[in-house]
Structure 1
Amino acid sequence: MSCQTRYLEEQRSELVIFINRSITTENNERGSGVPLTKMNGTSSWPEAQWPNTQLLTISYELKQNFTFTISGSMMDPPKSLIVSLETGANDLDENVVCQLAAKYYENKLFISNGKIQNEEGLNDTMTAGDLLDGSNFNIGFGCRDDYYMDIYTGSSFVQQLELNNSIDTIRYISVDGNVQSIDTLSYNFGDGLRGDLIYALPEWPRPQWPNDNSIVFLIPRTLQTQSGITISGSVPSNPDSLTISLVSEQSNTNYSNIACQLDTRFNENTLNLNTVVYGELQDVKNDQSITANDILSGSDFNISFTCRSGNGENVFDISSNNSYIDQVPTGHDFSDIRYIVLEGNIDLVKTLEFHL
């Protein structure tokens, strides 16, 4: 059987199960089916092979005590919401590590450590409506250990789930249903990611940096105007530097493709904002009244980058601890940005939040 024929057969089988479970809607959602991932030919952004699936890439290998939360809003009236944690494998039966499905027309909630079939995994303590605050949802996943996941909605505990796959196999979050928007994806790294730990990225080439003492995160999906990124953490006593770079994917992902960079030198008390296009450093207006020490609150940092477009120009607005620093015009398309790289004297990275 050819790959194409096999894929069509899998789609047909999935649709039959889908309809039998009555979880489909007028919006032609795929319900608790499993999205395959593919490369789209011009870039290595993963794409869902289902028209109504929204696919987010996990930004860092999941570990014990990590939590991550996805929030958004539903259309009115809500019909279904399906959130899946997936490996990205092509095998329909092995791809899903954890799945939550809310059927609002029956007010039922299902949770399973695999693809939900035959309405298994019914939660008797909560209902589909319990996942919503008005039209908004906020669903959290806590990595208790390698094989146990705690699921939350808002601040309420929903269920603990024993997984069949280790949490470090999870690469994607897929969201289905009549979802109006996905607003945020945020991570809390428990005791924090230490600056001397390096993670080899699962799918894409790791950026090539002279400094190996770095932490690299993946952007969860295409950035666009109004998207934002906020990173918080701490530096040790008497740090020398902290550098945060937003990096575009090119044929050679290195210092040649920095869309935006905040570079602080604490030993000189200087702060520079940079952008590099194909190896050429672009002039960026810097407010010299703002120094490296201004971005710290004690030993803590909280830096935000917000995408903005106007007059044919892409710009990053940069803030520190909610105080505006400056803007950085960039010669890069927001959609090309794939990595966040942190370098320098980093004690811990504590949280990472994306406004999508």
Structure 2
Amino acid sequence: MLKACWDCISGAIDNRNQVQNEESYGVHLNGNTQGAPPWPQPQTENETMFLLPRKLQYEDNILISGQMTNQPQLLTVNLVTDSNGMPDYQNIACQVEVRFNEDKTYLKTIINGNVETINSDSPSELFGDSSFDFEFKITYRGPAVEIYKGDSYLGQVDLKHSIDYIRYLTVYGDVQKVNKLEFKFV
């Protein structure tokens, strides 16, 4: 009986349930978190990093929107894999890179440091003002990530990485702030 009380107070039961259910986080009744990965530091000064609330599954959607600075030169949004609890910038599952000075949008994937450009397009008709909004749809077809800018379809990046390892969403470049981050999980 005493062991059961101690397990409840210390959170050992929550930890066992967390492992069994493969949840990202376990929470004690007193509000302390247990089992959450350490919060990683962004790679660059002007990078905003978000830890995905759980492992991605097919048919999940991620929406992100925000404001860029006046006369932006660069905007990059990444779905980054995890390596030992830290972002692995050598393995980016999906990257949208907008280079305004070149008038190009690049869809890329990075595998062990090797950049593979999937598609490039002109952003001038997609960015009429200083705001951005992207939607990433994880799909069985491929499997892949379909990318939308507002209602416009930008393209598709075939997943070369397991969706189990995609843990971070990063935004960097000429970004003032992220206004909205929304997850639609199945």
SS, match of residue 87 in structure 2: coil
Q: 1:296 to 1:277 in 2, by over 3 A?
A: same
Are 2:107 and 1:276 equivalent residues in the alignment?
A: no
1:331 is matched with which residue?
160
Shift of 1:204: 2.7
Tell me, in whole angstroms, the C-alpha distance in 1 between the residues paired with 2:4 and 2:41.
34
Structure 1's consecutive aligned runs of 4 or more residues displaced over 6 angstroms after TM superposition are 1-5
2:31 is matched with which residue?
95
1:49-102 deviation per Cα after TM superposition (whole angstroms, max 9, x unaligned): 686xx9576xxxxxxxxxxxxxxxxxxxxxxxxxxxx8x3x5x4x127xxxxxx
Tell me, in whole angstroms, the C-alpha distance in 2 between the residues paired with 1:4 and 1:278.
47
1:249-279 deviation per Cα after TM superposition (whole angstroms, max 9, x unaligned): 0246332110000001111111111111222
Tell me, in whole angstroms, the C-alpha distance in 1 between the residues paired with 2:67 and 2:181.
13
Q: 1:270 to 1:206 in 2, by over 3 A?
A: same
Q: How many residues align?
A: 180
Q: 1:237 to 1:205 in 2, by over 3 A?
A: same
2:14 is matched with which residue?
36
Shift of 1:329: 0.9
Q: 1:222 to 1:266 in 2, by over 3 A?
A: same
Q: 1:321 to 1:297 in 2, by over 3 A?
A: farther
Shift of 1:323: 1.1
Tell me, in whole angstroms, the C-alpha distance in 1 between the residues paired with 2:126 and 2:168.
22
TM score, norm. by length of structure 2: 0.81
- List runs of 5+ in structure 1 lacking aligned partners: 12-34, 39-46, 58-85, 97-170, 173-201
Q: Which has the larger radius of gyration?
A: 1
Q: Summarize the alignment of residues 6-17 of structure 1 with structure 2, pairs less than 5 Å apart.
A: 6-7=6-7, 10=8
Are 2:14 and 1:48 equivalent residues in the alignment?
A: no
Q: Which residue identity does 1:324 align to in structure 2? A: Y
Are 2:127 and 1:296 equivalent residues in the alignment?
A: yes
Tell me, in whole angstroms, the C-alpha distance in 2 between the residues paired with 1:56 and 1:208.
20
1:204-228 deviation per Cα after TM superposition (whole angstroms, max 9, x unaligned): 352662x221100010111111011
Shift of 1:203: 3.2
Identity %: 27
Tell me, in whole angstroms, the C-alpha distance in 1 between the residues paired with 2:175 and 2:90.
23
Tell me, in whole angstroms, the C-alpha distance in 1 between the residues paired with 2:94 and 2:134.
13
Tell me, in whole angstroms, the C-alpha distance in 2 between the residues paired with 1:4 and 1:294.
63
- The 8 Å contact of residues 208 and 254 in structure 1, kept in 2 or not, is answered as no
Tell me, in whole angstroms, the C-alpha distance in 1 between the residues paired with 2:108 and 2:97.
8
Tell me, in whole angstroms, the C-alpha distance in 1 between the residues paired with 2:4 and 2:111.
40
- The 8 Å contact of residues 42 and 48 in structure 2, kept in 1 or not, is answered as no
Match of residue 203, structure 1, among 37, 43, 55 = 37
Q: 1:283 to 1:214 in 2, by over 3 A?
A: closer
1:235 is matched with which residue?
68
1:113-171 deviation per Cα after TM superposition (whole angstroms, max 9, x unaligned): xxxxxxxxxxxxxxxxxxxxxxxxxxxxxxxxxxxxxxxxxxxxxxxxxxxxxxxxxx6
- The 8 Å contact of residues 72 and 174 in structure 2, kept in 1 or not, is answered as yes
Q: 1:291 to 1:224 in 2, by over 3 A?
A: same
Are 2:95 and 1:261 equivalent residues in the alignment?
A: yes
Tell me, in whole angstroms, the C-alpha distance in 2 between the residues paired with 1:6 and 1:230.
42
- The 8 Å contact of residues 80 and 168 in structure 2, kept in 1 or not, is answered as yes
SS, match of residue 124 in structure 2: helix
2:58 is matched with which residue?
225
- The 8 Å contact of residues 314 and 334 in structure 1, kept in 2 or not, is answered as no
- The 8 Å contact of residues 57 and 163 in structure 2, kept in 1 or not, is answered as yes
Q: Considering fraction of residues, name the structure with more strand.
A: 2
Tell me, in whole angstroms, the C-alpha distance in 2 between the residues paired with 1:267 and 1:326.
21
Match of residue 319, structure 1, among 137, 148, 151 = 148
User: Greater relative contact order (Cα 8 A, min sep 6): structure 1 or 2?
Assistant: 2
Q: Which residue identity does 1:6 align to in structure 2? A: W
Tell me, in whole angstroms, the C-alpha distance in 2 between the residues paired with 1:267 and 1:37.
50
Are 2:123 and 1:306 equivalent residues in the alignment?
A: no
